[in-house]
Chains A and B, each alone.
Chain A
Amino acid sequence: MTNDSDTLIRVEDVRTHFFLDEGVVKAVDGVSFDLARGATLGVVGESGCGKSVLARTIIRIVPRPGRTIDGAIWYHRPSEGGGERPIDLASLEADGAEIRDIRGGEITMIFQEPMVSFSPVHTIGDQIVEAVTLHRNATREEARAIAVDTLRRVGIPNAESRIDEYPFRLSGGMRQRAMIAMALSSNPTLLMADEPTTALDVTTQAQILELMADLQEEFGMAMMLISHNLGVVAQTTERIIVMYLGKVVESADVRTLFRDPKHPYTQELLKSVPKLRRRRQTERLAAIYGSVPSPYERPAGCPFHPRCPQFMAGECDVIEPTLKAVSEGHSVSCLLYSEETDS
């Protein structure tokens, strides 16, 4: 718990595990981070690293058989009087009234697949108005006006008529804009976007990212952007956490991370990002050696060691590293740096 008035969300050692017949998948395994009011955070990692589950853990919509078994999510909820009241989201009933009030109202989320994230048999307007009436004291007419207004602000032309369209009549980019409008319509304090541009083509991607950056400033909300693509995240956020197999391996602001990546995994990730100013045309993009191991058989010691180019036998496969600060605002979870800080 913290009294820092700037903090919006403080995640403390959260664990969300999936209990399957084949074994337990530790999708999120002891993640901690802070997010300030109005700040932006990028969460990066390969698919299966638990970044999407992390977002779902925060608003408590982890699908069965997943369960958040440990940790706290302190959300500093603005109260009527102007002050704030910290609530541990992790301790709330997942389908209870309080979390449902926050979910979709104060903390909203955008998903990866705009094509299938809207119900195909309800109009866009119906689905946005529903979100508005749930969280704002508004009549249907007022809610509709808010919906039209938000649709306009996300750059949908003819919002007044488009609001009555069914999703299948909109293009992918338009649908993602409508999705953003839905997430913004309740004036959230935090917007989480899970791979919001992955399913879109490159031009639309850039437009959507730009739109999100603009809207973040305009609405003054905090934003958490989840992506497997470091480039996308760097473009839009100030801080980045890098996840691997359910753990945070490195956390830093964008500049530091790009200039001075500490964790070998981050270094490898950076090598796989295409750069415009490449030294030679022939230089090839590096791929990370190997692939993410089976979720049921997490390697002992540092989870990254089987793929790590700087693997130290007898240490990395035995000792599990923890997240340690290497400099102000830059922490890393790697045994390469443990001596420097420990001794």
Chain B
Amino acid sequence: MASASVPVERADGAQSAYAASQWKLVWWRFRRHKLAMAGLAVVIALYVVSLFPEFLAIADPHERNAKKLYLSPTPVQILDGWLPMPFVYGLKSERNPETLALEFEPDTSKKYRIQWITRGYEYKLFGFFTTDWHLMGLDTEDDLAAFHILGTDRMGRDLWSRLMLATRISMSVGLLGVIISLFLGILLGGLSGYYSGAVDVTIQRMIEFLRSIPTIPLWIALAAAVPRDWSVVKVYFAITVLISFIGWTTLAREVRGRFLVLREDDFVIAARIYGSGAMRTIFRHMVPNFISHIIATTTLAVPTMIIAETSLSFLGLGLRQPVISWGVLLFEAQNIRAVSSAPWLLVPGAFVLLSVLAFNFMGDGLRDAADPYSIHG
């Protein structure tokens, strides 16, 4: 049989597919989504920034400079002649004869070369190791040598450096919030789906209740109730917990739905018949079966957290100075006149958008990869 080799080959291929673990299958399918892969790359990049924000910062993000208020982004010259050695020009300040405001112009007579892996302000890496190494900086103390990639704010603080630190806070609020949500969601959704009956009805009513109230008015009200004299760390956790309360309902619904389907599945019934207890059945037999869906839903919940934090802080009700988050930075952009004279204040918004899109793309890709048969929009 000449053609008999064809089905045999196919069977072999199929066998290697069956032999691959579920994770490998999900990963193979995920890899096919180009947008999802791009999302993953951006998310990884943002978390790398969150690990070493001070290293990436150029100047102390809290350092004010009354002479450099609303300084526009420094034009970085990439090529020096033909050599790729980036440098910036110095500044010369002039008083505008009409408005009497101090205006800056590049002083092309002075060149400052950008130094890579250099020393700058002192900080504590991971909160432990005191160091002063930074990715880049200028090797000068000259006050007219300005290296502000994204300009400065109304207090003359370097926006790029602040943005690096804000990335850590905002991304970690998203992550921490989602972990709390996930815990609540799996616990309550799982109980709801596993026991059904009165437990289910109660939890479902609670979810319905939480979903039908306008969240932001309630949450800003609760955020406003956070005492002003609390320490920075306390406020950070209070706000994160508040935000996580928004997200858990979606997760709980997802978990419950999965549970309802799985509960009737043969292998779960078998586990029960063989005397496996409730918690053991849930965590040993049921959770592994929909963990990929949970991860997808969780990924899709992170943007909600990030937007919530940003919104609260933007209103001045979430995180507050001296904590820096994307929302805290955008708080500076509330005044439209400030924005029109210093549009770079909107750059943190671009980071919000970028992270939200990245998580959405990644989450959609994960969801499709976890469940190739469902159609999602």
Binding site for B on A (CB under 8 A): 293-294, 297, 299-301, 306, 313, 317-318
A180 to B1, CA, bound (A): 48
A318 to B3, CA, bound (A): 9
The answer to whether B3 and A294 have CB atoms under 8 Å apart is no
In the complex, 19 of the A-B residue pairs with CB atoms within 8 angstroms, ordered by the A residue number, are A293-B7, A294-B10, A297-B6, A297-B7, A297-B10, A299-B3, A299-B6, A300-B2, A300-B3, A301-B3, A306-B1, A306-B3, A306-B4, A306-B7, A313-B1, A317-B1, A317-B2, A317-B3, A318-B2
A321 to B7, CA, bound (A): 22
Given contact pairs A297-B7, A313-B1, enumerate 7 new A-B contacts (beta carbons under 8 Å). A293-B7, A294-B10, A301-B3, A306-B4, A306-B7, A317-B3, A318-B2
A234 to B158, CA, bound (A): 86
Interface size (B, Cβ < 8 Å)? 7
A257 to B53, CA, bound (A): 81
Q: Which residues of A contact B2 (CB under 8 A)?
A: 300, 317-318
Cβ-closest chain B residue relative to A301: B3
Binding site for A on B (CB under 8 A): 1-4, 6-7, 10
> Closest 5 interchain pairs by CB?
A300-B3, A317-B3, A299-B3, A317-B2, A297-B6
Q: Which residues of B contact A318 (CB under 8 A)?
A: 2
Q: Which residues of A contact B3 (CB under 8 A)?
A: 299-301, 306, 317
A50 to B119, CA, bound (A): 74
Q: Which residues of B contact A306 (CB under 8 A)?
A: 1, 3-4, 7
Q: Which residues of B contact A294 (CB under 8 A)?
A: 10
Q: Which residues of B contact A313 (CB under 8 A)?
A: 1
Q: How far is the CB of B209 from chain A (nearest CB, A)?
A: 29
Q: How far is the CB of A307 from chain B (nearest CB, A)?
A: 11
Q: How far is the CB of A3 from chain B (nearest CB, A)?
A: 43
Q: Which residues of A contact B1 (CB under 8 A)?
A: 306, 313, 317
A18 to B283, CA, bound (A): 44
Cβ-closest chain B residue relative to A318: B2
Q: Which residues of A contact B10 (CB under 8 A)?
A: 294, 297
Q: How far is the CB of B28 from chain A (nearest CB, A)?
A: 15
Q: How far is the CB of B180 from chain A (nearest CB, A)?
A: 41
A313 to B2, CA, bound (A): 9
Q: How far is the CB of B137 from chain A (nearest CB, A)?
A: 51
Q: How far is the CB of B205 from chain A (nearest CB, A)?
A: 27
Q: How far is the CB of A294 from chain B (nearest CB, A)?
A: 7
A188 to B10, CA, bound (A): 47
Q: Which residues of A contact B7 (CB under 8 A)?
A: 293, 297, 306
A313 to B1, CA, bound (A): 7
Cβ-closest chain B residue relative to A299: B3
Q: Which residues of B contact A300 (CB under 8 A)?
A: 2-3
Q: Which residues of B contact A297 (CB under 8 A)?
A: 6-7, 10
A299 to B10, CA, bound (A): 13
Q: Which residues of B contact A293 (CB under 8 A)?
A: 7
Q: Which residues of B contact A301 (CB under 8 A)?
A: 3
Q: How far is the CB of A63 from chain B (nearest CB, A)?
A: 15
Q: Which residues of A contact B6 (CB under 8 A)?
A: 297, 299
A269 to B17, CA, bound (A): 33
Cβ-closest chain B residue relative to A313: B1
Q: How far is the CB of B216 from chain A (nearest CB, A)?
A: 35
A317 to B1, CA, bound (A): 8
A300 to B5, CA, bound (A): 12
Cβ-closest chain A residue relative to B9: A297
Q: How far is the CB of A325 from chain B (nearest CB, A)?
A: 29
Q: How far is the CB of B204 from chain A (nearest CB, A)?
A: 25
Q: How far is the CB of B81 from chain A (nearest CB, A)?
A: 52
A293 to B3, CA, bound (A): 12
Q: How far is the CB of B5 from chain A (nearest CB, A)?
A: 11
Q: How far is the CB of B32 from chain A (nearest CB, A)?
A: 11
Q: Which residues of A contact B4 (CB under 8 A)?
A: 306
Q: How far is the CB of A79 from chain B (nearest CB, A)?
A: 45
Q: How far is the CB of B8 from chain A (nearest CB, A)?
A: 11
A302 to B157, CA, bound (A): 79
A313 to B6, CA, bound (A): 16
Q: How far is the CB of A298 from chain B (nearest CB, A)?
A: 10
Q: How far is the CB of A80 from chain B (nearest CB, A)?
A: 46
A318 to B4, CA, bound (A): 12
Q: How far is the CB of A20 from chain B (nearest CB, A)?
A: 15
A317 to B6, CA, bound (A): 13
Cβ-closest chain B residue relative to A311: B1
Q: How far is the CB of A23 from chain B (nearest CB, A)?
A: 13
Q: How far is the CB of A300 from chain B (nearest CB, A)?
A: 5
Q: Tell me which of A299, A301, A313 has the highest count of chain B C-beta atoms within 10 A of its own C-beta.
A: A299
A313 to B4, CA, bound (A): 11
Cβ-closest chain A residue relative to B4: A306
Q: Tell me which of B2, B3, B6 has the highest count of chain A C-beta atoms within 10 A of its own C-beta.
A: B3
Q: How far is the CB of B1 from chain A (nearest CB, A)?
A: 7
A301 to B6, CA, bound (A): 14
A229 to B342, CA, bound (A): 77
Q: How far is the CB of B242 from chain A (nearest CB, A)?
A: 42
Q: How far is the CB of A304 from chain B (nearest CB, A)?
A: 13
A297 to B5, CA, bound (A): 12
A164 to B48, CA, bound (A): 64
Cβ-closest chain B residue relative to A293: B7
A318 to B2, CA, bound (A): 9
Cβ-closest chain A residue relative to B2: A317
Q: How far is the CB of B327 from chain A (nearest CB, A)?
A: 44
Q: How far is the CB of B4 from chain A (nearest CB, A)?
A: 7
Q: How far is the CB of A48 from chain B (nearest CB, A)?
A: 16
Q: How far is the CB of B313 from chain A (nearest CB, A)?
A: 46
Cβ-closest chain A residue relative to B6: A297
Cβ-closest chain B residue relative to A294: B10
Q: How far is the CB of A68 from chain B (nearest CB, A)?
A: 26
Cβ-closest chain B residue relative to A296: B10
Q: How far is the CB of B309 from chain A (nearest CB, A)?
A: 41
A299 to B1, CA, bound (A): 11
A297 to B2, CA, bound (A): 14
A299 to B6, CA, bound (A): 9
A143 to B7, CA, bound (A): 56
Q: Which residues of B contact A299 (CB under 8 A)?
A: 3, 6
A297 to B7, CA, bound (A): 9
Cβ-closest chain B residue relative to A300: B3
Q: How far is the CB of B34 from chain A (nearest CB, A)?
A: 15
Q: Which residues of B contact A317 (CB under 8 A)?
A: 1-3
Q: How far is the CB of B359 from chain A (nearest CB, A)?
A: 28
A293 to B8, CA, bound (A): 12
